[in-house]
C-alpha cells in the first residue's frame, strides 16, 4: 500500500505548526517550540501505524503473506510447504573382516556434514558399502566421494571413509512456496485434458517435479511439449521424467501427442545504475528483479525491460531512478528455455 514517508509526515506536521503559530522558531525546543518535538513524535507514531496496517494487510493474501501466515493460508488446500529432506546414500568403508559397525555410527565428512549408518553392518570382506543418511536436512549434504572420518573409533575399522549422498533438499522459501502454490491453485479444477491440465498432472506425478509448463505446437510439430523442473529450476532425474510420461499417458486425451522434457535455464545477468545508490536499495532492487523474473518464468518468455524499470521505480521505496544497462534488449527465451535471474553488476 502507498503510504506517506516519515519525512513527508514530519514536514506536514511542522507546516501545520508554523502556520498556526508563526512565532515558533524552527529548531527551538523551548516554549512553544516544543510543538516541533511533538510534531515529530506524532509523525513517527503515524509512520509506525501505517507500517503495521501495511504488514497486516499483506498477511491476508497468499500473494503477499509471509512465513507462518502464508502456511496457514495455503496448508488447508492441501498445499503444504516442501520441507527440508535429509540426503541418503552410501559410505565406502574398510577394515578387518568380522568387524562390526553399530547402527547410528556417525561419519564426520570434510564438507562439514555428518552422516549416520542406518543399520548394523558386519564386514565379510576388507571393503564394504554401507547405507548412510545425513544427520541434518538440506542440499549441503548432497555430495559425491566426500572424504570423512568416523566420529568415534570402531574396533577393527580404518578411520577413513568415502561418502556419497543425494536427495537432500532445503525447505521452500516464501517466494518458492507462493509461486508453486498459486500456480497449482490456478491450474487445478476439472481436469479432463484442457490446456493447463497436463502441467498439473506433471507436477502431481511425484515430489521431484515442482514446476511444469505446456508448449503447444512444440518446435513446429503437432505435439504438446511439457517441460518440467525441480526445486530452484534444478534438473529432475530420469525416473521423475518417466513418472511424468506415465501420468500423462494415463490421463491425456486420445490422439494427443505429448513430449516430456527437462526445462533448460537461460540465466540473465543485469548491469544497473540506481539513484540513490545505497546497500539497502541495492538489495531491495535485486530482490524485486528476482521476484519479477520468477513470476514470468515460462518457455517462450518475453520480459520487457521498460516494464521492469517501471515496476522497480514504482515498487521499491526510496528509489528515485534506475537505469538498466544490461541486458541490452528485452528478455526472450525459446520453447525449451525459461529465464532465471543471475547476478547484478552495479555501476
Could you report the average pLDDT of every consecutive run of 10 residues in the chain (347 residues)?
86 86 64 76 93 90 88 72 86 93 95 95 90 92 92 92 89 84 67 78 88 91 92 88 92 86 95 94 94 93 95 92 95 95 93
> Nearest-5° angle of CA 339, CA 345, CA 347?
135
pLDDT of residue 333: 96
Given a contact cutoff of 8 angstroms between Cβ atoms, the answer to whether 336 and 220 are in contact is no
Q: How many C-beta neighbours within 10 Å does residue 11 have?
A: 14
Given a contact cutoff of 8 angstroms between Cβ atoms, the answer to whether 35 and 24 are in contact is yes
How many Cα atoms within 13 Å fall on the side-chain side of residue 300?
11
265 Cβ neighbours under 8 A, 6+ residues apart: 233, 337, 338, 340
Of 276, 325, 331, 274, residue with least CA distance to 301:
331
pLDDT of residue 113: 95
pLDDT of residue 22: 76
pLDDT of residue 103: 94
Task: Kindly state the cell numbers that stand for 113.
Answer: 556434514
Given a contact cutoff of 8 angstroms between Cβ atoms, the answer to whether 284 and 319 are in contact is yes
Of 328, 215, 217, 222, residue with least CA distance to 269:
328
φ, ψ for residue 270, nearest 5 deg: -120, 150
Amino acid at each position: 500500500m502507498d503510504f506517506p514517508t516519515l519525512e513527508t509526515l514530519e514536514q506536514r506536521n511542522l507546516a501545520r505548526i508554523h502556520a498556526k503559530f508563526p512565532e515558533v522558531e524552527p529548531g527551538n525546543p523551548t516554549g512553544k517550540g516544543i510543538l516541533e518535538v511533538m510534531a515529530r513524535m506524532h509523525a513517527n507514531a503515524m509512520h509506525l501505524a501505517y507500517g503495521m496496517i501495511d504488514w497486516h494487510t499483506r498477511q491476508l493474501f497468499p500473494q503477499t503473506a509471509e512465513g507462518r501466515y502464508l502456511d496457514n493460508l495455503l496448508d488447508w488446500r492441501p498445499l503444504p510447504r516442501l520441507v527440508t529432506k535429509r540426503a541418503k546414500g552410501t559410505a565406502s568403508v574398510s577394515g578387518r573382516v568380522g568387524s562390526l559397525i553399530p547402527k547410528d555410527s556417525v561419519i564426520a565428512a570434510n564438507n562439514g556434514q555428518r552422516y549416520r549408518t542406518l543399520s548394523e553392518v558386519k564386514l565379510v570382506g576388507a571393503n564394504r558399502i554401507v547405507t548412510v543418511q545425513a544427520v541434518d536436512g538440506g542440499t549441503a549434504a548432497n555430495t559425491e566421494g566426500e572424504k570423512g572420518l568416523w566420529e568415534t573409533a570402531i574396533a577393527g575399522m580404518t578411520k577413513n571413509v568415502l561418502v556419497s549422498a543425494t536427495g537432500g533438499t532445503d525447505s521452500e522459501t516464501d517466494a518458492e512456496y507462493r509461486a508453486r502454490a498459486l500456480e497449482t491453485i490456478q491450474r487445478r479444477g476439472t481436469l479432463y485434458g484442457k490446456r493447463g491440465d497436463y502441467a498439473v498432472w506433471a507436477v502431481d506425478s511425484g515430489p521431484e517435479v515442482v514446476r511444469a509448463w505446456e508448449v503447444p505446437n512444440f518446435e513446429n510439430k503437432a505435439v504438446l511439449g511439457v517441460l518440467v523442473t525441480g526445486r530452484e529450476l534444478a534438473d529432475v532425474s530420469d525416473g521423475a521424467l518417466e513418472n511424468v510420461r506415465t501420468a500423462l499417458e494415463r490421463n491425456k486425451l486420445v490422439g494427443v501427442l505429448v513430449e516430456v522434457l527437462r526445462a533448460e535455464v537461460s540465466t540473465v545477468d543485469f548491469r544497473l545504475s540506481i539513484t540513490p545508490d545505497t546497500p539497502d536499495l541495492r538489495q531491495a532492487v535485486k530482490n524485486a528483479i528476482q521476484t519479477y523474473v520468477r513470476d514470468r518464468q515460462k518457455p517462450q518468455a518475453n520480459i520487457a525491460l521498460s516494464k521492469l524499470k517501471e515496476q522497480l521505480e514504482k515498487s521499491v521505496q526510496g528509489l528515485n531512478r534506475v537505469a538498466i544497462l544490461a541486458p541490452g534488449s528485452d528478455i526472450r527465451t525459446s520453447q525449451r528455455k525459461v529465464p532465471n535471474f543471475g547476478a547484478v553488476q552495479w555501476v
